[in-house]
């Protein structure tokens, strides 16, 4: 018949003597005296620890865990440890302490204070900025090599990238832009109908879409669709060491992977912006003619009269810069991806966030410049 685990402890001449016995298994909790045996090592008068076994029956790793804790606490206090145990148990304890833990191997669970984290982030910022500027320099060199005819970019990759970010994006651009035009017209109509000025909905929708909102809608959609795709594609190639293979073959990854995608987005986003402007105006047209009972020709004439053509040029400037921001953010995160599946997911998320933040910052900068120039 198996007996319950037993622990007896006491101090004899400055030595903490602990004796174990009974049956130890994982299904049976430690005896209450086990905590007292562990706590007794805090006595500052102790000079050593002796472990013995008396009436010990069957045992498993639960006994080993208990004894290892005793030995670890004793060694932390630099006490002399004597093991008077069965040979197999004694050998396991010695093996547990045969190799000291490597410094820094344990996972840190403590988090620093707010100021400490802010300071760490500030110190990590300059290397990141330098790395990003280095990437921009590589892209600039790739563009120059393309101009002088020394680029390794393939025309097939450029055309494929244009098709991916242009033609395949038309359905989602059509839907979002038309719906945004509808929303913009509804918002304007709520106030304008109170003054009998429904016709000014045409100017509101036209200027809003052509000047900035069409480009912003395209930029946000392309950030989630194309920027994330670029980051995931290049990041996966990093995991599979395909980028390293290109460098081994003497092929610049920037020329081969980044340049065609940057040029494709820089060219296609302005064209998509024009298309989004048209779909937004159509959405406002539907609201004006079907909901506000405006004459179709009157709505079109009001749009042409109220919307200066320079608004189209401003929208194209927005779209071109947004395309560069999205391509740079996606490709940069992909090129700096780690070598694991988790890193690819994190890279994709960062690419989308950086693209959207870049679009917002760029919108603010261009808007301020336009206001200063009076355009």
Distance CA 136, CA 320 (A): 17
Same domain (yes/no): 164, 298: yes
Strand 80-84 relative to strand 15-22, pairing: unpaired
The total number of structural domains that make up the chain: 2
Same domain (yes/no): 223, 305: yes
Among 207, 210, 213, smallest CA distance to 302 is for 207
| Most confident stretch, 46-55, 253-262, 303-312 | 253-262
pLDDT, tens digit, for every residue of 313-355?
998 999 999 999 999 999 999 998 888 888 888 899 999 999 9
**Which CATH number do you get for residue 74?**
3.30.750.24
Among 93, 117, 119, 126, smallest CA distance to 20 is for 93
- The range of the structural domain enclosing residue 30 comes to 6-96
Task: Give the residue from 39, 69, 96 where a domain finishes.
Answer: 96
pLDDT, tens digit, for every residue of 37-88?
888 888 788 888 888 888 788 888 888 888 888 888 888 888 888 888 888 8
Q: Which residues is 17 bridged to in the sheet?
A: 10, 50
Distance CA 118, CA 136 (A): 27
Q: What is the CA radius of gyration of the chain?
A: 35
- pLDDT given at position 102: 61
Average pLDDT over residues 194-203: 81
Q: Is residue 88 part of a domain?
A: yes
């Amino acid at each position: 018949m198996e007996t319950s685990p037993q622990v007896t402890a006491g101090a004899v001449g400055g030595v903490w003597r602990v004796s174990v016995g009974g049956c130890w298994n994982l299904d049976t909790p430690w005896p209450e005296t086990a905590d007292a045996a562990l706590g007794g090592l805090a006595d500052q008068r102790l000079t050593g620890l002796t472990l013995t076994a008396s009436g010990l029956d069957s045992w498993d790793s639960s006994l080993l865990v208990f004894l290892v804790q005793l030995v670890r606490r004793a060694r932390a206090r630099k006490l002399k440890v004597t093991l008077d145990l069965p040979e197999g148990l004694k050998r396991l304890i010695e093996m547990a302490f045969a190799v000291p833990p490597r410094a820094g191997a344990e996972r840190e669970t403590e988090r620093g204070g707010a100021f400490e984290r802010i300071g760490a982030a500030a110190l990590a910022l300059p290397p990141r900025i330098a790395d990003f500027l280095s990437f921009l320099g590589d892209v600039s060199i790739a563009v120059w090599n393309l101009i002088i005819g020394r680029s390794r970019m393939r025309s097939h990759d450029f055309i494929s990238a244009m098709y991916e970010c242009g033609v395949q994006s038309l359905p989602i651009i059509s839907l979002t832009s038309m719906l945004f035009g509808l929303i913009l017209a509804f918002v304007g109509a709520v106030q304008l109908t109170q003054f009998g000025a429904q016709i000014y909905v045409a100017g509101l929708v036209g200027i809003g879409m052509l000047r900035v909102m069409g480009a912003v809608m395209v930029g946000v959609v392309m950030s989630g669709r194309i920027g994330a795709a670029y980051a995931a594609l290049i990041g996966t190639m990093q995991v599979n060491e395909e980028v390293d293979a290109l460098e081994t073959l003497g092929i610049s990854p920037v020329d081969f992977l980044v340049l065609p995608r940057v040029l494709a987005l820089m060219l296609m986003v302005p064209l998509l912006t024009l298309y989004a402007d048209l779909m937004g105006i159509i959405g406002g047209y539907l609201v004006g003619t079907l909901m506000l009972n405006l004459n179709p020709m009157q709505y079109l004439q009001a749009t042409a009269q109220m919307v200066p053509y320079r608004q189209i040029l401003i929208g194209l400037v927005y779209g071109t810069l947004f395309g560069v921001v999205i391509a740079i953010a996606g490709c940069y995160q992909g090129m700096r991806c780690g070598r694991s599946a988790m890193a690819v997911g994190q890279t994709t998320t960062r690419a989308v966030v950086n693209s959207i933040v870049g679009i917002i910052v760029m919108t603010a900068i261009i808007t301020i410049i336009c206001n200063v120039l009076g355009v």
